Chains A and B, each alone.
Chain A
Protein backbone atom coordinates (compact mmCIF):
# COMPACT_ATOMS: atom_id res chain seq x y z
CA UNK A 1 0.00 0.00 0.00
CA UNK A 2 3.09 2.23 0.08
CA UNK A 3 2.44 5.53 -1.65
CA UNK A 4 -1.25 4.84 -2.13
CA UNK A 5 -3.33 7.49 -0.45
CA UNK A 6 -6.01 5.98 1.71
CA UNK A 7 -8.71 7.27 3.96
CA UNK A 8 -7.67 6.59 7.57
CA UNK A 9 -10.00 4.62 9.82
CA UNK A 10 -10.36 7.00 12.74
CA UNK A 11 -12.26 4.64 15.01
CA UNK A 12 -10.58 3.64 18.26
CA UNK A 13 -11.25 0.57 20.40
CA UNK A 14 -11.29 0.96 24.18
CA UNK A 15 -12.17 -2.40 25.74
CA UNK A 16 -15.76 -3.17 24.73
CA UNK A 17 -16.26 0.28 23.22
CA UNK A 18 -15.57 1.63 19.74
CA UNK A 19 -15.11 5.39 19.57
CA UNK A 20 -15.99 6.92 16.19
CA UNK A 21 -12.82 9.01 16.30
CA UNK A 22 -9.91 9.68 18.68
CA UNK A 23 -10.90 13.19 19.80
CA UNK A 24 -12.72 13.74 23.09
CA UNK A 25 -13.54 16.72 25.27
CA UNK A 26 -11.98 16.49 28.73
CA UNK A 27 -13.94 16.12 31.93
CA UNK A 28 -14.69 19.38 33.71
CA UNK A 29 -14.30 21.53 30.63
CA UNK A 30 -17.48 20.61 28.74
CA UNK A 31 -20.08 20.32 31.51
CA UNK A 32 -22.62 17.63 30.63
CA UNK A 33 -22.69 18.65 26.98
CA UNK A 34 -25.80 20.80 26.89
CA UNK A 35 -23.90 23.95 27.85
CA UNK A 36 -22.00 23.73 24.55
CA UNK A 37 -24.90 22.40 22.47
CA UNK A 38 -25.38 25.66 20.57
CA UNK A 39 -21.67 26.12 19.82
CA UNK A 40 -20.25 22.68 19.03
CA UNK A 41 -21.48 19.91 16.72
CA UNK A 42 -21.18 17.40 19.57
CA UNK A 43 -22.18 14.44 17.40
CA UNK A 44 -18.93 14.84 15.45
CA UNK A 45 -16.82 14.37 18.58
CA UNK A 46 -15.45 10.92 19.35
CA UNK A 47 -16.13 11.11 23.06
CA UNK A 48 -17.66 13.41 25.62
CA UNK A 49 -16.14 12.96 29.08
CA UNK A 50 -18.68 14.45 31.50
CA UNK A 51 -17.94 16.71 34.39
CA UNK A 52 -17.29 14.59 37.48
CA UNK A 53 -20.30 12.97 39.12
CA UNK A 54 -20.15 12.35 42.87
CA UNK A 55 -22.68 10.54 45.03
CA UNK A 56 -23.78 13.70 46.82
CA UNK A 57 -24.16 17.20 45.31
CA UNK A 58 -21.01 19.31 45.76
CA UNK A 59 -20.90 23.09 45.91
CA UNK A 60 -17.21 23.18 45.09
CA UNK A 61 -14.48 25.46 46.37
CA UNK A 62 -14.72 29.17 47.24
CA UNK A 63 -13.78 31.69 44.52
CA UNK A 64 -11.48 32.77 43.00
CA UNK A 65 -11.28 29.39 41.30
CA UNK A 66 -9.30 30.36 38.19
CA UNK A 67 -6.12 32.15 37.32
CA UNK A 68 -4.13 32.39 34.12
CA UNK A 69 -0.42 31.63 34.23
CA UNK A 70 2.16 31.61 31.43
CA UNK A 71 0.73 29.22 28.83
CA UNK A 72 -1.51 27.75 31.46
CA UNK A 73 -4.57 27.93 33.63
CA UNK A 74 -4.80 27.04 37.31
CA UNK A 75 -8.25 25.92 38.45
CA UNK A 76 -9.68 24.83 41.73
CA UNK A 77 -13.33 24.08 41.06
CA UNK A 78 -13.50 21.34 43.68
CA UNK A 79 -15.65 18.87 41.70
CA UNK A 80 -18.72 21.13 41.90
CA UNK A 81 -21.55 18.99 40.53
CA UNK A 82 -25.25 18.38 41.16
CA UNK A 83 -24.72 14.84 42.50
CA UNK A 84 -25.74 11.42 41.21
CA UNK A 85 -29.52 11.77 41.51
CA UNK A 86 -29.63 15.08 39.65
CA UNK A 87 -27.22 13.69 37.05
CA UNK A 88 -29.58 10.79 36.33
CA UNK A 89 -32.65 13.01 36.36
CA UNK A 90 -31.44 16.18 34.64
CA UNK A 91 -28.25 15.45 32.69
CA UNK A 92 -28.57 11.89 31.39
CA UNK A 93 -31.65 12.51 29.17
CA UNK A 94 -29.67 15.04 27.11
CA UNK A 95 -26.63 12.77 26.91
CA UNK A 96 -28.92 10.03 25.54
CA UNK A 97 -29.68 12.22 22.53
CA UNK A 98 -26.01 12.45 21.49
CA UNK A 99 -24.33 10.31 18.85
CA UNK A 100 -20.80 10.44 20.31
CA UNK A 101 -19.55 8.07 23.00
CA UNK A 102 -20.29 9.27 26.52
CA UNK A 103 -17.87 8.52 29.34
CA UNK A 104 -19.07 9.50 32.80
CA UNK A 105 -16.30 10.82 35.01
CA UNK A 106 -16.76 9.39 38.51
CA UNK A 107 -15.29 10.88 41.70
CA UNK A 108 -15.71 10.34 45.41
CA UNK A 109 -14.26 10.83 48.87
CA UNK A 110 -14.11 7.14 49.75
CA UNK A 111 -13.83 3.91 47.81
CA UNK A 112 -17.48 3.19 48.60
CA UNK A 113 -18.51 6.52 47.06
CA UNK A 114 -17.05 5.49 43.70
CA UNK A 115 -18.68 2.08 43.97
CA UNK A 116 -22.07 3.61 44.80
CA UNK A 117 -21.99 5.97 41.81
CA UNK A 118 -21.19 3.21 39.32
CA UNK A 119 -23.61 0.78 40.95
CA UNK A 120 -26.49 3.26 40.87
CA UNK A 121 -25.83 4.33 37.29
CA UNK A 122 -25.76 0.66 36.22
CA UNK A 123 -28.96 0.00 38.11
CA UNK A 124 -30.68 3.07 36.60
CA UNK A 125 -29.61 2.01 33.10
CA UNK A 126 -30.85 -1.55 33.58
CA UNK A 127 -34.29 -0.19 34.55
CA UNK A 128 -34.56 2.06 31.50
CA UNK A 129 -35.93 0.77 28.21
CA UNK A 130 -33.45 -1.17 26.09
CA UNK A 131 -34.26 0.79 22.93
CA UNK A 132 -32.24 3.88 22.13
CA UNK A 133 -28.94 4.99 23.53
CA UNK A 134 -28.08 4.47 27.20
CA UNK A 135 -26.15 7.76 27.41
CA UNK A 136 -23.36 6.02 29.33
CA UNK A 137 -20.75 4.09 27.33
CA UNK A 138 -18.22 3.87 30.08
CA UNK A 139 -16.63 5.41 33.13
CA UNK A 140 -13.55 7.48 33.71
CA UNK A 141 -12.48 6.87 37.28
CA UNK A 142 -11.18 10.18 38.59
CA UNK A 143 -8.52 9.25 41.12
CA UNK A 144 -6.42 12.27 40.31
CA UNK A 145 -8.27 15.50 41.15
CA UNK A 146 -5.84 17.73 43.06
CA UNK A 147 -8.58 20.03 44.35
CA UNK A 148 -10.40 18.01 46.97
CA UNK A 149 -9.31 17.26 50.52
CA UNK A 150 -10.37 13.62 50.57
CA UNK A 151 -10.39 11.10 47.78
CA UNK A 152 -9.29 12.31 44.38
CA UNK A 153 -5.55 12.45 44.19
CA UNK A 154 -5.02 10.61 47.48
CA UNK A 155 -6.28 7.50 45.68
CA UNK A 156 -4.36 8.23 42.54
CA UNK A 157 -0.96 8.22 44.20
CA UNK A 158 -1.27 4.78 45.82
CA UNK A 159 -1.01 1.81 43.41
CA UNK A 160 -2.55 -0.62 45.93
CA UNK A 161 -5.65 1.55 46.41
CA UNK A 162 -5.95 2.00 42.64
CA UNK A 163 -5.81 -1.70 41.96
CA UNK A 164 -8.37 -2.50 44.62
CA UNK A 165 -10.77 0.26 43.53
CA UNK A 166 -10.42 -0.66 39.86
CA UNK A 167 -11.05 -4.33 40.57
CA UNK A 168 -14.17 -3.54 42.61
CA UNK A 169 -15.62 -1.33 39.87
CA UNK A 170 -14.72 -3.94 37.25
CA UNK A 171 -17.10 -6.37 38.91
CA UNK A 172 -19.95 -3.86 38.59
CA UNK A 173 -19.84 -3.03 34.91
CA UNK A 174 -19.12 -4.44 31.48
CA UNK A 175 -18.89 -0.93 30.07
CA UNK A 176 -15.52 0.63 29.29
CA UNK A 177 -13.58 1.56 32.42
CA UNK A 178 -10.84 4.14 32.14
CA UNK A 179 -8.65 5.26 35.04
CA UNK A 180 -7.54 8.90 34.91
CA UNK A 181 -3.97 9.16 36.15
CA UNK A 182 -2.35 11.91 38.16
CA UNK A 183 1.07 13.25 37.16
CA UNK A 184 1.62 14.25 40.79
CA UNK A 185 3.34 10.96 41.61
CA UNK A 186 6.88 9.63 41.76
CA UNK A 187 6.29 6.97 39.11
CA UNK A 188 3.17 7.20 36.97
CA UNK A 189 3.99 3.85 35.32
CA UNK A 190 3.45 2.05 38.65
CA UNK A 191 0.00 3.58 39.01
CA UNK A 192 -0.88 2.70 35.41
CA UNK A 193 0.18 -0.90 36.01
CA UNK A 194 -2.04 -1.05 39.08
CA UNK A 195 -5.02 0.17 37.00
CA UNK A 196 -4.29 -2.46 34.37
CA UNK A 197 -3.98 -5.17 37.02
CA UNK A 198 -7.34 -4.10 38.44
CA UNK A 199 -8.98 -4.63 35.06
CA UNK A 200 -9.08 -1.12 33.56
CA UNK A 201 -9.71 -1.02 29.81
CA UNK A 202 -7.58 2.13 29.39
CA UNK A 203 -5.88 4.96 31.24
CA UNK A 204 -6.27 8.71 30.71
CA UNK A 205 -2.93 10.41 30.97
CA UNK A 206 -2.76 13.08 32.55
CA UNK A 207 -4.89 15.06 35.00
CA UNK A 208 -3.67 18.52 36.09
CA UNK A 209 -0.41 19.25 37.87
CA UNK A 210 -0.52 20.89 41.28
CA UNK A 211 0.25 24.57 40.76
CA UNK A 212 0.23 27.84 42.66
CA UNK A 213 0.35 31.49 41.69
CA UNK A 214 0.63 34.44 44.08
CA UNK A 215 -0.43 38.08 43.75
CA UNK A 216 2.70 39.95 44.82
CA UNK A 217 0.86 43.20 45.62
CA UNK A 218 -1.85 41.72 47.80
CA UNK A 219 0.57 39.03 48.98
CA UNK A 220 -1.97 36.24 48.70
CA UNK A 221 -2.59 33.26 46.44
CA UNK A 222 -4.58 33.94 43.28
CA UNK A 223 -6.66 30.80 43.96
CA UNK A 224 -8.75 30.87 47.14
CA UNK A 225 -7.68 27.38 48.13
CA UNK A 226 -3.99 28.24 47.66
CA UNK A 227 -3.05 25.59 45.15
CA UNK A 228 -4.98 24.31 42.16
CA UNK A 229 -4.57 22.16 39.06
CA UNK A 230 -2.41 23.52 36.26
CA UNK A 231 -3.56 22.78 32.70
CA UNK A 232 -2.93 24.19 29.26
CA UNK A 233 0.07 24.18 26.88
CA UNK A 234 2.43 24.62 29.85
CA UNK A 235 1.88 20.98 30.89
CA UNK A 236 1.94 19.35 27.46
CA UNK A 237 5.56 18.15 27.61
CA UNK A 238 4.81 16.58 31.00
CA UNK A 239 1.76 14.82 29.59
CA UNK A 240 3.66 13.56 26.56
CA UNK A 241 6.47 12.23 28.77
CA UNK A 242 3.95 10.53 31.09
CA UNK A 243 2.24 8.96 28.07
CA UNK A 244 5.61 7.74 26.84
CA UNK A 245 6.45 6.17 30.22
CA UNK A 246 3.03 4.58 30.65
CA UNK A 247 3.09 3.18 27.11
CA UNK A 248 6.21 1.26 28.06
CA UNK A 249 4.61 -0.12 31.21
CA UNK A 250 1.14 -1.31 30.17
CA UNK A 251 -0.55 -2.92 27.20
CA UNK A 252 -3.99 -1.30 27.62
CA UNK A 253 -4.74 1.77 25.46
CA UNK A 254 -3.72 5.24 26.60
CA UNK A 255 -5.89 8.32 26.14
CA UNK A 256 -3.58 11.32 26.12
CA UNK A 257 -4.45 14.76 27.46
CA UNK A 258 -2.77 17.83 28.84
CA UNK A 259 -2.27 21.02 26.87
CA UNK A 260 -3.53 19.83 23.49
CA UNK A 261 -4.60 22.83 21.38
CA UNK A 262 -3.64 21.76 17.86
CA UNK A 263 -3.50 18.61 15.75
CA UNK A 264 0.29 18.72 16.11
CA UNK A 265 -0.08 18.62 19.88
CA UNK A 266 -2.39 15.61 19.59
CA UNK A 267 0.06 13.84 17.28
CA UNK A 268 2.84 14.23 19.86
CA UNK A 269 0.68 12.19 22.23
CA UNK A 270 -0.01 9.57 19.54
CA UNK A 271 3.69 9.30 18.73
CA UNK A 272 4.39 8.85 22.46
CA UNK A 273 1.90 5.96 22.63
CA UNK A 274 -1.65 7.29 22.98
CA UNK A 275 -4.48 6.00 20.74
CA UNK A 276 -6.99 8.74 21.56
CA UNK A 277 -6.80 12.21 23.07
CA UNK A 278 -8.87 14.73 25.01
CA UNK A 279 -9.04 18.48 24.54
CA UNK A 280 -9.72 20.55 27.66
CA UNK A 281 -8.38 24.01 28.36
CA UNK A 282 -8.08 24.79 24.62
CA UNK A 283 -11.89 24.64 24.46
CA UNK A 284 -12.08 27.76 26.62
CA UNK A 285 -10.10 29.73 24.05
CA UNK A 286 -11.92 28.20 21.10
CA UNK A 287 -14.83 25.73 21.31
CA UNK A 288 -14.06 24.80 17.70
CA UNK A 289 -10.64 23.40 18.69
CA UNK A 290 -11.60 19.70 19.06
CA UNK A 291 -13.08 19.42 15.57
CA UNK A 292 -10.24 21.45 14.03
CA UNK A 293 -7.83 19.03 15.73
CA UNK A 294 -9.79 16.05 14.37
CA UNK A 295 -9.53 17.41 10.83
CA UNK A 296 -5.79 17.92 11.28
CA UNK A 297 -5.28 14.37 12.60
CA UNK A 298 -7.18 12.94 9.63
CA UNK A 299 -5.13 15.01 7.19
CA UNK A 300 -1.82 13.95 8.83
CA UNK A 301 -2.76 10.27 8.90
CA UNK A 302 -3.77 10.39 5.25
CA UNK A 303 -0.50 12.10 4.34
CA UNK A 304 1.60 9.65 6.35
CA UNK A 305 -0.37 6.65 5.15
CA UNK A 306 -1.37 5.53 8.66
CA UNK A 307 -4.63 3.64 8.89
CA UNK A 308 -5.24 3.63 12.66
CA UNK A 309 -4.15 5.87 15.52
CA UNK A 310 -2.73 2.83 17.28
CA UNK A 311 -0.17 2.52 14.47
CA UNK A 312 1.15 6.06 14.90
CA UNK A 313 3.49 5.29 17.85
CA UNK A 314 5.40 2.86 15.64
CA UNK A 315 6.43 5.81 13.44
CA UNK A 316 8.48 7.35 16.23
CA UNK A 317 11.99 7.29 14.81
CA UNK A 318 14.16 7.04 17.90
Chain B
Protein backbone atom coordinates (compact mmCIF):
# COMPACT_ATOMS: atom_id res chain seq x y z
CA UNK B 1 0.00 0.00 0.00
CA UNK B 2 1.06 3.56 -0.68
CA UNK B 3 -0.31 7.02 -0.09
CA UNK B 4 0.11 9.18 -3.17
CA UNK B 5 -1.47 11.87 -5.31
CA UNK B 6 -3.08 9.99 -8.17
CA UNK B 7 -3.87 11.83 -11.38
CA UNK B 8 -7.53 11.51 -12.31
CA UNK B 9 -7.62 10.27 -15.92
CA UNK B 10 -11.39 9.93 -15.94
CA UNK B 11 -14.22 11.09 -13.70
CA UNK B 12 -17.58 11.25 -15.41
CA UNK B 13 -21.14 10.10 -15.46
CA UNK B 14 -21.71 6.95 -17.48
CA UNK B 15 -25.45 6.70 -16.87
CA UNK B 16 -27.82 8.71 -14.70
CA UNK B 17 -26.82 7.07 -11.43
CA UNK B 18 -23.26 5.89 -12.10
CA UNK B 19 -19.90 7.61 -12.26
CA UNK B 20 -16.64 6.05 -13.30
CA UNK B 21 -13.36 7.16 -11.77
CA UNK B 22 -10.05 6.37 -13.46
CA UNK B 23 -6.75 6.96 -11.67
CA UNK B 24 -3.25 6.76 -13.12
CA UNK B 25 -1.80 3.98 -10.96
CA UNK B 26 1.99 3.81 -10.63
CA UNK B 27 3.64 0.39 -10.48
CA UNK B 28 5.40 1.20 -7.19
CA UNK B 29 2.03 1.58 -5.43
CA UNK B 30 1.42 -2.13 -5.97
CA UNK B 31 -0.92 -3.91 -8.34
CA UNK B 32 -4.62 -3.71 -7.39
CA UNK B 33 -6.32 -7.12 -7.39
CA UNK B 34 -10.05 -8.00 -7.53
CA UNK B 35 -11.65 -7.51 -4.13
CA UNK B 36 -9.22 -4.85 -2.95
CA UNK B 37 -10.04 -1.20 -2.40
CA UNK B 38 -8.46 2.19 -1.93
CA UNK B 39 -9.41 5.15 0.21
CA UNK B 40 -9.51 8.69 -1.11
CA UNK B 41 -9.66 12.10 0.44
CA UNK B 42 -11.70 14.45 -1.71
CA UNK B 43 -10.01 17.79 -2.28
CA UNK B 44 -13.04 19.69 -1.02
CA UNK B 45 -12.72 18.02 2.35
CA UNK B 46 -10.06 19.97 4.15
CA UNK B 47 -9.47 20.01 7.90
CA UNK B 48 -12.32 21.91 9.47
CA UNK B 49 -14.90 20.82 6.93
CA UNK B 50 -17.77 18.66 8.08
CA UNK B 51 -16.30 15.55 6.47
CA UNK B 52 -13.18 14.13 8.08
CA UNK B 53 -12.93 10.56 6.97
CA UNK B 54 -11.47 9.15 3.82
CA UNK B 55 -13.90 7.12 1.72
CA UNK B 56 -13.26 3.55 0.59
CA UNK B 57 -13.93 2.55 -3.03
CA UNK B 58 -13.47 -0.91 -4.53
CA UNK B 59 -11.38 -1.39 -7.63
CA UNK B 60 -13.51 -2.28 -10.67
CA UNK B 61 -10.69 -2.64 -13.21
CA UNK B 62 -6.94 -2.30 -13.61
CA UNK B 63 -5.13 -2.30 -16.92
CA UNK B 64 -1.54 -1.87 -15.82
CA UNK B 65 -1.58 1.91 -16.15
CA UNK B 66 -4.91 3.03 -14.68
CA UNK B 67 -7.21 1.75 -11.96
CA UNK B 68 -10.97 2.22 -12.15
CA UNK B 69 -13.81 2.40 -9.66
CA UNK B 70 -17.54 2.80 -10.08
CA UNK B 71 -19.45 4.99 -7.68
CA UNK B 72 -22.77 6.66 -7.06
CA UNK B 73 -23.15 10.06 -5.44
CA UNK B 74 -24.66 9.24 -2.06
CA UNK B 75 -23.18 11.70 0.44
CA UNK B 76 -20.65 14.44 1.02
CA UNK B 77 -17.60 12.31 0.14
CA UNK B 78 -18.85 11.06 -3.20
CA UNK B 79 -20.35 14.49 -3.98
CA UNK B 80 -16.93 16.06 -3.53
CA UNK B 81 -15.36 13.27 -5.59
CA UNK B 82 -17.82 13.88 -8.42
CA UNK B 83 -16.66 17.51 -8.49
CA UNK B 84 -12.99 16.56 -8.91
CA UNK B 85 -11.77 17.48 -12.40
CA UNK B 86 -10.05 15.12 -14.82
CA UNK B 87 -6.36 15.97 -14.85
CA UNK B 88 -6.38 17.00 -11.19
CA UNK B 89 -4.95 14.81 -8.45
CA UNK B 90 -6.63 12.79 -5.71
CA UNK B 91 -5.01 11.80 -2.40
CA UNK B 92 -5.22 8.01 -2.48
CA UNK B 93 -4.13 5.15 -0.20
CA UNK B 94 -4.09 1.68 -1.69
CA UNK B 95 -4.28 -1.09 -2.59
CA UNK B 96 -5.94 -2.10 0.70
CA UNK B 97 -7.64 -5.23 1.98
CA UNK B 98 -7.57 -8.85 0.86
CA UNK B 99 -8.24 -10.41 -2.52
CA UNK B 100 -10.98 -12.66 -3.94
CA UNK B 101 -9.40 -16.12 -4.17
CA UNK B 102 -9.69 -17.46 -7.72
CA UNK B 103 -11.93 -20.52 -8.28
CA UNK B 104 -10.33 -23.94 -8.10
CA UNK B 105 -9.80 -25.87 -11.34
CA UNK B 106 -13.03 -27.83 -11.05
CA UNK B 107 -15.19 -24.98 -9.79
CA UNK B 108 -17.76 -23.08 -11.82
CA UNK B 109 -17.79 -19.46 -10.57
CA UNK B 110 -21.00 -17.48 -10.11
CA UNK B 111 -20.44 -13.78 -9.55
CA UNK B 112 -23.34 -11.91 -7.98
CA UNK B 113 -23.35 -8.12 -7.75
CA UNK B 114 -26.12 -6.00 -6.31
CA UNK B 115 -26.47 -2.27 -7.04
CA UNK B 116 -23.50 -0.30 -5.80
CA UNK B 117 -21.54 -3.53 -5.21
CA UNK B 118 -21.00 -4.51 -8.84
CA UNK B 119 -17.50 -3.00 -9.26
CA UNK B 120 -15.38 -5.72 -7.62
CA UNK B 121 -17.31 -8.44 -9.49
CA UNK B 122 -16.71 -6.83 -12.88
CA UNK B 123 -13.00 -6.82 -11.94
CA UNK B 124 -13.11 -10.45 -10.79
CA UNK B 125 -15.01 -11.42 -13.94
CA UNK B 126 -12.28 -9.92 -16.12
CA UNK B 127 -9.58 -11.70 -14.11
CA UNK B 128 -11.26 -15.11 -14.29
CA UNK B 129 -12.10 -14.62 -17.98
CA UNK B 130 -8.43 -13.95 -18.67
CA UNK B 131 -7.62 -17.43 -17.34
CA UNK B 132 -9.12 -18.96 -20.51
CA UNK B 133 -10.98 -21.64 -18.60
CA UNK B 134 -13.06 -24.34 -20.27
CA UNK B 135 -16.42 -22.94 -21.42
CA UNK B 136 -18.31 -25.01 -18.82
CA UNK B 137 -16.19 -23.35 -16.13
CA UNK B 138 -16.39 -19.79 -17.47
CA UNK B 139 -17.73 -17.27 -14.98
CA UNK B 140 -21.42 -16.45 -14.87
CA UNK B 141 -21.93 -12.82 -13.92
CA UNK B 142 -25.31 -11.86 -12.48
CA UNK B 143 -25.94 -8.20 -11.69
CA UNK B 144 -29.04 -6.95 -9.91
CA UNK B 145 -30.49 -3.43 -9.90
CA UNK B 146 -33.67 -1.76 -8.70
CA UNK B 147 -34.68 -0.72 -12.19
CA UNK B 148 -33.32 -0.27 -15.70
CA UNK B 149 -32.34 3.33 -14.94
CA UNK B 150 -29.69 2.04 -12.52
CA UNK B 151 -27.92 -0.24 -14.98
CA UNK B 152 -24.56 1.30 -15.98
CA UNK B 153 -23.61 1.80 -19.60
CA UNK B 154 -19.99 2.23 -20.65
CA UNK B 155 -20.34 2.69 -24.39
CA UNK B 156 -20.80 6.48 -24.17
CA UNK B 157 -17.79 6.78 -21.90
CA UNK B 158 -15.70 4.95 -24.47
CA UNK B 159 -17.09 7.09 -27.31
CA UNK B 160 -16.44 10.35 -25.53
CA UNK B 161 -12.86 9.39 -24.76
CA UNK B 162 -11.47 8.26 -28.13
CA UNK B 163 -8.14 9.79 -27.13
CA UNK B 164 -7.88 7.80 -23.94
CA UNK B 165 -4.82 5.71 -24.69
CA UNK B 166 -2.71 3.47 -22.55
CA UNK B 167 -3.76 5.32 -19.40
CA UNK B 168 -7.20 3.89 -19.15
CA UNK B 169 -8.80 2.71 -22.36
CA UNK B 170 -8.04 -0.97 -21.82
CA UNK B 171 -9.51 -0.84 -18.31
CA UNK B 172 -12.67 0.83 -19.53
CA UNK B 173 -13.01 -1.71 -22.33
CA UNK B 174 -12.61 -4.53 -19.86
CA UNK B 175 -15.40 -3.07 -17.71
CA UNK B 176 -17.58 -2.65 -20.75
CA UNK B 177 -16.93 -6.20 -21.96
CA UNK B 178 -17.69 -7.79 -18.60
CA UNK B 179 -20.88 -5.76 -18.33
CA UNK B 180 -21.97 -6.85 -21.82
CA UNK B 181 -21.58 -10.49 -20.76
CA UNK B 182 -23.54 -10.01 -17.52
CA UNK B 183 -27.03 -11.28 -16.98
CA UNK B 184 -29.05 -8.38 -15.64
CA UNK B 185 -31.85 -8.67 -13.10
CA UNK B 186 -34.10 -5.79 -12.06
CA UNK B 187 -36.45 -5.75 -9.11
CA UNK B 188 -39.21 -4.14 -11.22
CA UNK B 189 -38.59 -6.23 -14.34
CA UNK B 190 -37.75 -3.23 -16.56
CA UNK B 191 -34.52 -4.88 -17.72
CA UNK B 192 -33.46 -8.53 -17.96
CA UNK B 193 -34.71 -10.99 -15.37
CA UNK B 194 -37.58 -9.74 -13.20
CA UNK B 195 -36.54 -10.27 -9.58
CA UNK B 196 -33.53 -10.15 -7.33
CA UNK B 197 -30.09 -11.32 -8.31
CA UNK B 198 -30.61 -14.36 -6.07
CA UNK B 199 -33.83 -15.15 -7.91
CA UNK B 200 -31.83 -14.88 -11.13
CA UNK B 201 -29.26 -17.32 -9.76
CA UNK B 202 -32.03 -19.77 -8.87
CA UNK B 203 -33.49 -19.48 -12.37
CA UNK B 204 -30.06 -19.98 -13.90
CA UNK B 205 -29.49 -23.16 -11.91
CA UNK B 206 -32.91 -24.68 -12.59
CA UNK B 207 -32.74 -23.81 -16.30
CA UNK B 208 -29.96 -26.35 -16.56
CA UNK B 209 -27.56 -23.86 -18.08
CA UNK B 210 -24.94 -25.16 -15.75
CA UNK B 211 -23.22 -28.44 -16.29
CA UNK B 212 -24.07 -30.37 -13.16
CA UNK B 213 -20.73 -32.11 -12.84
CA UNK B 214 -18.96 -29.02 -11.58
CA UNK B 215 -18.80 -27.67 -8.09
CA UNK B 216 -20.06 -24.12 -7.78
CA UNK B 217 -18.25 -21.20 -6.16
CA UNK B 218 -20.25 -18.08 -5.31
CA UNK B 219 -18.76 -14.61 -5.19
CA UNK B 220 -20.85 -11.67 -4.07
CA UNK B 221 -20.88 -7.98 -3.23
CA UNK B 222 -23.93 -5.84 -2.60
CA UNK B 223 -26.44 -4.81 0.07
CA UNK B 224 -26.33 -6.62 3.44
CA UNK B 225 -29.61 -8.54 3.05
CA UNK B 226 -28.48 -9.86 -0.34
CA UNK B 227 -25.15 -11.02 1.09
CA UNK B 228 -26.85 -12.64 4.08
CA UNK B 229 -29.25 -14.49 1.76
CA UNK B 230 -26.44 -15.68 -0.50
CA UNK B 231 -24.38 -16.80 2.48
CA UNK B 232 -27.36 -18.81 3.79
CA UNK B 233 -27.94 -20.33 0.36
CA UNK B 234 -24.28 -21.31 -0.01
CA UNK B 235 -24.31 -22.95 3.39
CA UNK B 236 -27.55 -24.84 2.64
CA UNK B 237 -26.10 -26.07 -0.66
CA UNK B 238 -22.63 -26.73 0.72
CA UNK B 239 -21.17 -24.40 -1.91
CA UNK B 240 -17.99 -22.34 -1.42
CA UNK B 241 -18.66 -18.60 -1.16
CA UNK B 242 -16.64 -15.42 -0.86
CA UNK B 243 -18.38 -12.23 0.07
CA UNK B 244 -17.20 -8.62 -0.11
CA UNK B 245 -18.56 -6.28 2.56
CA UNK B 246 -18.81 -2.51 2.81
CA UNK B 247 -18.57 -0.56 6.07
CA UNK B 248 -17.83 2.94 7.28
CA UNK B 249 -14.11 3.14 7.90
CA UNK B 250 -11.81 5.55 9.69
CA UNK B 251 -8.22 4.39 9.19
CA UNK B 252 -8.73 1.76 6.47
CA UNK B 253 -5.52 -0.04 7.49
CA UNK B 254 -6.61 -2.11 10.51
CA UNK B 255 -5.55 0.25 13.28
CA UNK B 256 -8.75 1.77 14.64
CA UNK B 257 -11.21 -1.16 14.81
CA UNK B 258 -14.02 1.13 13.67
CA UNK B 259 -15.29 -0.87 10.67
CA UNK B 260 -16.02 -4.20 12.36
CA UNK B 261 -18.72 -6.78 11.63
CA UNK B 262 -19.86 -9.48 14.07
CA UNK B 263 -18.07 -12.77 13.41
CA UNK B 264 -19.97 -16.07 13.39
CA UNK B 265 -17.45 -17.59 15.79
CA UNK B 266 -17.84 -14.66 18.21
CA UNK B 267 -16.05 -11.35 18.42
CA UNK B 268 -15.65 -9.02 15.48
CA UNK B 269 -13.86 -8.84 12.14
CA UNK B 270 -12.42 -5.69 10.59
CA UNK B 271 -13.85 -4.99 7.14
CA UNK B 272 -10.66 -3.17 6.11
CA UNK B 273 -7.91 -5.50 7.29
CA UNK B 274 -9.53 -8.91 7.92
CA UNK B 275 -11.61 -8.34 4.75
CA UNK B 276 -13.24 -6.88 2.78
CA UNK B 277 -13.52 -10.45 1.40
CA UNK B 278 -14.85 -13.04 3.84
CA UNK B 279 -15.38 -16.73 3.36
CA UNK B 280 -18.97 -17.99 3.48
CA UNK B 281 -20.11 -18.53 7.06
CA UNK B 282 -17.58 -16.12 8.62
CA UNK B 283 -19.98 -13.22 9.22
CA UNK B 284 -22.86 -13.22 11.66
CA UNK B 285 -25.51 -11.34 9.71
CA UNK B 286 -28.25 -9.28 11.32
CA UNK B 287 -31.32 -11.35 12.18
User: Which residues in A have some Cβ–Cβ distance to B below 8 Å?
Assistant: 28-31, 35-36, 38-39, 51, 59-60, 62-73, 75, 77, 80, 232-233, 261-262, 265, 281-288
Contact = CB atoms under 8 A, between A and B. Distances in A.
Contact of A284 (B3, B52, B254): B52
Nearest to B30: A38
B229 to A, nearest CB: 20
B50 A285 contact: no
20 contacts: A31-B251, A31-B253, A35-B255, A59-B267, A60-B268, A66-B258, A68-B53, A71-B50, A72-B52, A73-B52, A75-B250, A233-B52, A261-B47, A261-B48, A281-B250, A284-B52, A284-B251, A284-B256, A285-B45, A287-B93
The 6 closest A-B CB pairs, nearest first, are A31-B255, A261-B47, A35-B255, A66-B258, A284-B250, A80-B257
A282 B47 contact: yes
Given A66-B248, A73-B52, 9 more contacts: A31-B254, A39-B2, A59-B267, A69-B50, A75-B256, A232-B52, A262-B47, A284-B250, A286-B41
A260 to B, nearest CB: 9
B117 to A, nearest CB: 18
A102 to B, nearest CB: 15
B48 A39 contact: no
A68 B1 contact: no
Contact of A68 (B51, B247, B255, B268): B51
B2 to A, nearest CB: 7
B261 interface: yes
Interface string B43-69: 001011111111000000000000000
Most B CB atoms within 10 A — which of A59, A62, A282, A284?
A284
B53 A284 contact: yes
A288 B247 CA distance: 23
Nearest to A70: B50
B254 A75 contact: no
Interface in B208-255: 247-255
Contacts of B45: 285
Contacts of B254: 31, 35
- Among B3, B250, B252, the one with the most A-chain Cβ atoms within 10 Å of its Cβ is B250
A281 B196 CA distance: 40
B52 A71 contact: yes
Contacts of B255: 29-31, 35-36, 51
B90 interface: no
Nearest to B250: A284
A288 B3 contact: yes
B224 to A, nearest CB: 12
A232 B49 CA distance: 10
Interface residues of B, number: 35
A62 B45 CA distance: 29
Given A68-B52, A285-B52, A28 B1 contact: no
Nearest to B247: A63
A36 B253 CA distance: 7
Contacts of B258: 65-66, 75, 77
Contacts of B91: 286
Contacts of A64: 248
A222 B125 CA distance: 35
A80 B268 contact: yes
A36 B48 CA distance: 24
Nearest to B256: A29
B16 interface: no
A73 B53 contact: yes
B273 interface: yes
A38 B4 CA distance: 12
Contacts of A60: 257, 260, 268
Given A71-B52, A232-B52, A65 B253 contact: no
Nearest to A286: B41
Contacts of A65: 257-260
Contacts of B101: none
A292 B134 CA distance: 54
A262 B267 CA distance: 36
B47 A39 contact: no
B262 A62 contact: yes
Given A68-B50, A284-B251, A39 B268 contact: no
A70 B45 CA distance: 12
Contacts of A261: 47-48
Given A72-B52, A77-B258, A284-B52, A66 B250 contact: yes
Nearest to A262: B47
Given A35-B273, A36-B255, A51-B255, A71 B49 contact: yes
Contacts of A283: 251
A51 B249 CA distance: 17
A14 to B, nearest CB: 24
Contacts of A69: 50
A66 B259 contact: yes
A38 B2 contact: yes
A29 B251 contact: yes
A39 B253 contact: yes
B253 to A, nearest CB: 5
A286 B1 CA distance: 14
A63 B257 CA distance: 10
Contacts of A68: 50-53
A79 B1 CA distance: 26
